[in-house]
Amino acid sequence: MYYTCAGCAVRACSNEEKENLPKNCPMRDRELMDEAFAAYALPENHDFYVTASELEALGYCQWPRLKETIELCLRMGYKRVGLAFCRGLRKEAAVVDSLLRRAGLEVVSVICKTGGIDKTKVGIAPDRKVHPGEFEPMCNPIAQAKLLNAQNTQFNIALGLCVGHDSMFYKYSDALVTTLVAKDRVTGHNPAAAIYCAEGYFKDRIL
Ligand code: SF4
């Protein structure tokens, strides 16, 4: 029986009362829930988790995600952070880099196209380039992560990495990662817009 919280109308998890759990409620797996809870006490998790969680109340509906990200870095006492960004958002990356520096952080930044390797070299079909027949550098999220790892960043910020490339960056990053910007070329990097409009203006553009 798999979990379907997205369709649950009970939401006992949001109340103190834990009665009348749905049959497939994940909270019925006490052992797993206890194991997960115990992990918050681990030294590598505890302060990070509590600090991140307290940000919610500190800047509730006041701090944009950019401010929350900076505050998290400062409150965790990080000195050196990584910025893995997309070439298409290089101007935005420069703004973020400058703000992080003004906040007193050292910023190691790496662009997605690092390596300058043509897409066909990795196995992307020539006719699946955005501009077939031209040199088109592949995004290189594994190199982005490894370069930041080699420079010992304590925390990494992903800015505008493509769907799936972001996944590989998360996989290879040694440091924890937060996503400041989720790329969406169609909505001005606001993927939620397509969700809000999924039954309306985007109806014919999703499925
Ligand atoms: S955890 Fe249980 S009660 Fe909460 S949404 Fe999921 S199924 Fe519903």
Which tokens in the block code for residue 26?
């994940």
Q: Residue whose CA is closest, atom 6 of ligand 1? A: 5
φ, ψ for residue 155, nearest 5 deg: -160, 140
22 Cα: distance to centroid of ligand 1 (angstroms): 7
Q: What's the rounded mean pLDDT across residues 64-89?
A: 98
Residue 13: pLDDT band (50, 70, 90) is very high
**pLDDT at residue 19 in the model:** 82
Atom of ligand 1 nearest to the CA of 3: 7
Query: Averaged over 75-94, what is the pLDDT?
Result: 98
- Determine, yes or no, domain membership for 119: yes
Q: Taking residues 186-196, what's their average pLDDT? A: 97
Contacts of 27 (CB under 8 A, 6+ apart): 12, 13, 18, 21, 33
Q: Is 25 in the pocket of ligand 1 (CB under 6 A)?
A: yes
Q: What is the pLDDT of residue 141?
A: 98
Please give the tally of structural domains in the chain.
1
Contact 145, 165 (CB under 8 A): no
Domain annotation covers residue 103: yes
CATH, residue 108: 3.40.50
pLDDT digit string (tens) for 147-180? Answer: 999 999 999 999 999 999 999 999 999 999 999 9
Per-residue pLDDT, averaged over 74-103, amounts to 98
Distance 116 CA to ligand 1 centre (A): 47
153 burial level (CB within 10 Å; 0-12, 13-18, 19+): buried
Spatial distance between the Cα atoms of 43 and 151, rounded to a whole number of angstroms: 23
Residue 27: is its pLDDT beyond 90? yes
Query: Is residue 116 in a domain?
Result: yes
Reduce the DSSP state of residue 106 to 3 states and report it. Answer: strand
Q: What is the pLDDT of residue 16?
A: 85
Q: How far is CA 53 from CA 35, 42, 62, 63, 75, in A?
A: 20, 16, 15, 14, 12
Strand partners, 158: 84, 179
| Residue 18: per-residue pLDDT | 81
Q: Flag whether the pTM goes above 0.85.
A: yes
For residue 155, tell me if it sits in a domain.
Answer: yes
Whether the CB-CB separation of 160 and 95 falls below 8 Å is answered with: no
pLDDT at 79 over 90: yes
